[in-house]
C-alpha cells in the first residue's frame, strides 16, 4: 500500500528483472482522505499533480490513506509526490553477503505498524504508520548520493553512535562514499566548513560522549540552509535533534519540496528527556536513567551518613519527568520524586515538609529527586521570561530553591538539625557515551533512516512504535510532547514504591482523569516504555 504519488497514477518503475511494475502496490489503494473528504485513490481527487503537497486537518503534506474497518495510514511524503518520472534501481543490499541470507530481508511495501495495539474485538483498526526498513527498489544510485549529517539542540548520550552508524550504514550497505558532517548545528550549513565523514573517521566515536560534529541552539535560517544543501549538491539530509530540531527539519523539507529538489530530509529524534511523542522511547534515555543512579546513590550515602541527612538530586526533564520517574523506580532509595506533571506543595498537612519530617523521624534520612521543570510555578516571581537561542524558556534552578526552602523550614525547628546536600548531575549525565542498549538502539535508528532515504521517502522522522521501527510524518512528533501521565499505572507504581504523598485532592484526581488522555489514539503512554 505505497501511498499516492503526486503525478496521477503510479509511475512505472524498472524492476531488477527488467520488467515494469507500479511504484504503488495493488491493494489498499482504497481511499485517501484530504481535509476530511474521501476520494478514490486513483481518481485524481487529491490533485495529485500539485507541487504544493497535500493537506489534512490543517497539516500540510499529510498523506492519509484509509482502508477497511477504520484502518488509517498516516503516510510520509515521497520524492515522487513532487518529482515526476524518477528512475528506480535494485537495492544493492540484495547482493550483500551479510544481508542476502536473511529470509524476507526486504520490507513488504504494504507493511504498516499499528499505533494502538491494545484493542477490543469491536475496535476500529485505527491509525498506522509506515514500517521502516529496506525496500527492494531504491531511488538513488550509490554514487549519486551526497549525504550530510547535522546534530542540533542539547547533548544526549548516543549522538556519536547515530553519526557513526549513518556513515557506516550508508557506506557498507549502500556503497555511498560522499558523506559530509555539518558542524555546530543548523547554522553550520551556512556559517561553517563541512567535514568529510568516512567509516575510518567515525570508527570509535561511539565510545565518546557529546557529538563530534558539535551542536548549537538557534541559527535556523531556512532559506540559507536550503541554499547550502542545493549549492553543495546534497541529496540526503540526516538531522539529529529534539522537538525543536524536528520542527526545523520539517520546514527544510517543505522548502526543498517547494523548490522541487530531489533531496530526502530525514529526522532522527534525540531527546534525553524522552519527551518526543509517538515513539516508544528516545535514545540516550536509558543511559541517562542508569547514570542518574550514581547521583542518587551519592545522595543516599551522604544522607545516611549524617544525622537527619537529606539528599536532593536534580535530574533533567524540562517538561516531562520521565528520567526522574524511572531513576526513582530503578533506585528504590528515593523517598520522594517531584516532576513537572504532578503539582506539589510544601507547607501544611499532606505537604512536602510534613512528609520529609516524618521520614527523618522514621529513618533518620531522606532522598529527594526533583526534575528540573518541577515546581517552576513556585519560583515564577523570580522568572524573567528569558529564553535560549532556540526560544526555549530558561528554567530557574528548582533544586537549589527547594534545598533553600527545606533549610529555612527546619531552621525554625531547633530540635531537628538537618544536614542537606544538593547534587546537580545534569551535565555529567548527558555528557557520557551511550550504554550498550542505547548503542544498539542508535544503530537501528540510523539504519531505518538510511533505508527510508534510499527508498525515496522524505519529510519523516524514524523511531520504534510498539517495538517496530516506523516512518513518522514530522507533524506527528512536533505537535505534542510526550509526558508522564499521572493517572497511568507507572506513576501509581512510583507512588506505591516511595509511598510519598500524591499531593492531589480528590478534585485534582477527577480533573486529571477527565483530561484528554494522551495514550488515546496517537500518543504512547507512560507505560509505553515498559508496558
Ligand atoms: N519552530 C522552529 N522552526 C525552525 N527551527 C526551529 C524551531 N524550533 C527550534 N528550531 C531550531 O532547532 C534547533 C534545536 O532546537 P532546540 O529547541 O534547541 O533543541 P531540540 O531540538 O533538542 O529541542 C535550533 O537550531 C533551533 O533554532
Ligand atoms: O543548558 P542547555 O544546553 O541549554 O541544556 C539544558 C536542557 O537540555 C536538556 O538536557 C534537553 O535538551 P533538548 O531540549 O535539546 O533535548 C534539558 O533537560 C535541559 O533543560
Ligand atoms: Mg526541545
Q: What is the largest CA-CA distance in the chain?
A: 88
CATH of domain 285-383+393-432+484-512: 3.40.50.460
ipTM over 0.90? The verdict is yes
90, 17 contact by CB (below 8 A):
no
What are the residues whose beta carbon lies below 5 Å from ligand 3 (ion)? 242-244
Ligand nearest to the CA of 156: 2
Q: Is pLDDT at 36 greater than 90 in this prediction?
A: no
Within 6 Å (CB) of ligand 1, which residues are found? 152-154, 185-186, 217-220, 241-245, 247-248, 251, 390, 392
| Alpha carbon of 392 to ligand 1 centroid (Å) | 9
Nearest ligand for residue 481 CA? 3
Residue 90 dihedral angles phi and psi, to the nearest 5°: -65, 145
Q: Is the CB of 185 under 6 A from ligand 2?
A: no
403: alpha, beta or left? (left if phi > 0; alpha if psi -120 to 50): alpha
Do the Cβ atoms of 73 and 112 come closer than 8 Å? Answer: yes
pLDDT reading at 324 higher than 80: yes
Q: Answer yes or no: is pLDDT of 529 > 60.
A: no
3-state secondary structure 320-342: CCHHHHHHHHHHCCCCEEECCCC
What H or E segment, with its residue span, contains residue 506? helix 506-514
Contact 517, 491 (CB under 8 A): no
Q: What is the CATH number of domain 63-282+434-478?
A: 3.40.50.450
> Is 305 buried (19+), middle (13-18) or exposed (0-12) by CB count in 10 A?
exposed
Q: Which of 81, 273, 275, 286 is catalytic?
A: 273
Tell me how far apart the alpha carbons of residues 123 and 346 are, in angstroms, rounded to a whole number.
44
SS3 content of the chain, % helix, strand, coil (to 5): 35, 20, 45
pLDDT bin (cut points 50, 70, 90) of residue 8 is: very low
For the ranges 100-104, 119-123, 125-129, 175-179, which has the lowest average pLDDT? 100-104
Q: What is the DSSP string of 441-475?
A: HHHHHHHHHHHHHHTTB-SEEEEEETTEEEEEEHH
514, three cell numbers = 477527565
Query: Average pLDDT of 172-187?
Result: 97
Are 63-282+434-478 and 285-383+393-432+484-512 the same fold in CATH?
Answer: yes
Q: Where are the domains of the chain?
A: 63-282+434-478, 285-383+393-432+484-512
Q: Is residue 166 within 8 Å of 152, Cβ to Cβ?
A: no
The answer on pLDDT for 477 being more than 80 is yes
**pLDDT tens digits, residue range 325-353?**
999 999 999 999 999 999 999 999 999 99
Q: Percent of the chain having pLDDT more than 70?
A: 84
Q: What is the pLDDT of residues 233-270, one digit of tens each?
A: 999 999 999 999 999 999 999 999 999 999 999 999 99
Q: Minimal CA–CA distance to 439: which of 215, 209, 174?
A: 209
pLDDT at 49 over 80: no
Residues 6+ apart with CB under 8 A from 177: 142, 143, 171
Residue whose CA lies nearest to ligand 1 atom number 15: 244
Distances (CA, A) of 110 to 48, 73, 200, 368, 459: 20, 11, 37, 49, 19
Look at residue 41 and tell me whether its pLDDT is greater than 80: no
Please give the annotated binding residues for ATP, written as ranges.
154, 217-218, 242-245
pLDDT at 27: 33
pLDDT band at residue 62 using 50, 70 and 90 as cut-offs = confident
pLDDT at 3 over 90: no
Statement: residue 71 has pLDDT above 60 = yes
Work out which ligand 1 atom sits closest to the CA atom of 185.
25
- 273 is known as an active-site residue: yes
CB burial of residue 120 (10 Å; 0-12, 13-18, 19+): exposed
Distance, in Å, from the CA atom of 91 to the CA atom of 380, rounded to the nearest integer, reads 56
Cell of 86: 524518477
Spatial distance between the Cα atoms of 348 and 479, rounded to a whole number of angstroms: 38
The Cβ of residue 487 has, within 10 Å, a number of other Cβ atoms equal to: 17
- Measured between alpha carbons, how far apart are the two ends of the chain, in Å? 29
How confident is the model over 423-443, as a mean pLDDT?
Answer: 98
Q: What is the mean pLDDT of the chain?
A: 87
- Contact 327/369 with Cβ under 8 angstroms? yes
Kindly tell me if the per-residue pLDDT of 281 is higher than 90.
yes
Alpha-carbon span 239 to 255, nearest angstrom:
15
Residue 245 exposure: Cα atoms within 13 Å on the Cβ side: 29
Q: What is 155-173 written as a DSSP string?
A: --TTHHHHHHHHHHHHHHH
Residue nearest to atom 5 of ligand 2 (CA): 154
Of 185, 214, 272, best ligand 2 pocket probe by most atoms within 8 Å of the beta carbon: 272
- How many angstroms from the chain centroid is the CA of residue 101? 32
pLDDT at 180 over 50: yes
Residue with cell 559530509: 180
Amino acid at each position: 500500500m505505497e501511498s499516492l504519488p503526486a503525478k496521477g497514477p503510479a509511475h512505472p518503475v524498472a524492476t531488477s528483472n527488467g520488467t515494469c511494475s507500479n511504484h504503488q502496490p495493488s491493494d489498499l489503494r482504497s481511499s485517501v482522505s484530504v481535509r476530511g473528504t474521501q476520494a478514490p485513490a486513483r481518481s485524481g481527487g487529491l490533485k495529485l499533480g500539485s507541487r504544493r503537497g497535500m493537506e489534512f486537518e490543517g497539516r500540510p503534506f499529510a498523506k492519509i490513506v484509509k482502508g477497511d474497518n477504520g484502518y488509517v495510514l498516516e503516510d510520509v511524503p515521497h520524492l515522487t509526490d513532487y518529482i515526476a518520472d524518477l528512475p528506480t534501481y535494485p537495492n544493492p543490499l540484495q547482493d550483500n553477503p551479510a544481508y542476502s541470507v536473511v529470509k524476507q530481508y526486504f520490507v513488504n511495501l504494504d507493511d504498516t505498524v499499528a499505533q494502538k495495539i491494545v484493542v477490543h474485538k469491536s475496535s476500529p483498526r485505527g491509525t498506522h504508520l509506515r514500517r521502516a526498513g529496506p525496500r527492494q527498489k531504491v531511488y538513488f544510485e550509490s554514487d549519486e548520493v551526497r549525504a550530510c549529517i547535522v546534530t542540533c539542540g542539547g547533548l544526549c548520550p548516543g549522538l556519536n553512535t547515530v553519526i557513526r552508524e549513518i556513515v557506516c550504514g550508508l557506506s557498507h550497505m549502500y556503497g555511498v562514499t560522499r558523506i559530509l558532517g555539518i558542524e555546530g548545528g543548523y547554522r553550520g550549513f551556512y556559517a561553517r566548513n563541512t567535514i568529510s565523514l568516512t567509516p575510518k573517521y567515525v570508527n570509535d566515536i561511539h565510545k565518546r560522549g557529546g557529538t563530534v560534529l558539535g551542536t548549537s541552539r538557534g541559527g535556523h535560517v531556512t532559506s540559507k540552509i536550503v541554499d547550502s544543501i542545493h549549492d553543495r549538491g546534497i541529496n540526503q539530509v540526516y538531522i539529529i535533534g529534539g522537538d525543536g530540531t524536528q520542527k526545523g527539519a520539517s520546514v527544510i523539507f517543505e522548502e526543498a519540496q517547494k523548490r522541487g529538489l530531489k533531496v530526502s530530509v530525514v529526522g532522527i529524534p534525540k531527546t534525553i528527556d524522552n519527551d518526543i511523542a509517538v515513539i516508544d522511547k528516545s535514545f540516550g534515555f536509558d543511559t541517562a536513567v542508569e547514570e542518574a543512579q550514581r547521583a542518587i546513590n551519592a545522595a543516599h550515602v551522604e544522607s545516611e551518613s549524617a544525622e537527619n541527612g537529606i539528599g536532593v538530586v536534580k535530574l533533567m526533564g524540562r517538561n516531562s519527568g520521565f528520567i526522574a520517574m524511572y531513576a526513582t523506580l530503578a533506585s528504590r532509595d528515593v523517598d520522594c520524586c517531584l516532576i513537572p506533571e504532578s503539582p506539589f506543595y510544601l507547607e501544611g498537612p499532606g505537604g512536602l515538609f510534613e512528609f520529609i519530617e516524618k521520614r527523618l523521624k522514621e529513618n533518620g534520612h531522606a532522598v529527594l529527586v526533583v526534575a528540573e521543570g518541577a515546581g517552576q510555578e513556585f519560583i515564577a516571581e523570580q522568572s524573567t521570561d528569558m529564553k535560549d537561542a532556540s526560544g526555549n524558556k530558561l528554567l530557574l534552578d528548582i533544586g537549589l530553591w527547594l534545598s533553600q526552602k527545606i533549610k529555612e523550614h527546619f531552621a525554625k525547628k531547633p530540635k531537628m538539625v538537618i544536614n542537606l546536600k544538593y547534587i546537580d548531575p545534569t551535565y555529567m549525565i548527558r555528557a557520557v557515551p551511550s550504554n550498550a542498549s542505547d548503542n544498539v538502539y542508535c544503530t537501528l535508528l540510523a539504519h531505518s533512516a538510511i533505508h527510508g532515504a534510499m527508498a525515496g521517502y522524505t519529510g519523516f522522522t524514524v523511531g520504534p512504535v510498539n517495538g517496530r521501527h516506523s516512518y513518522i510524518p514530522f507533524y506527528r512528533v512536533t505537535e505534542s510532547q510526550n509526558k508522564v501521565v499521572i493517572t497511568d499505572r507507572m506513576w501509581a507504581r512510583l507512588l506505591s514504591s516511595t509511598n510519598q504523598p500524591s499531593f492531589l485532592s480528590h478534585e485534582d484526581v477527577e480533573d486529571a482523569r477527565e483530561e484528554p488522555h494522551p495514550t488515546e489514539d496517537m500518543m504512547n503512554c507512560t507505560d509505553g516504555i515498559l508496558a
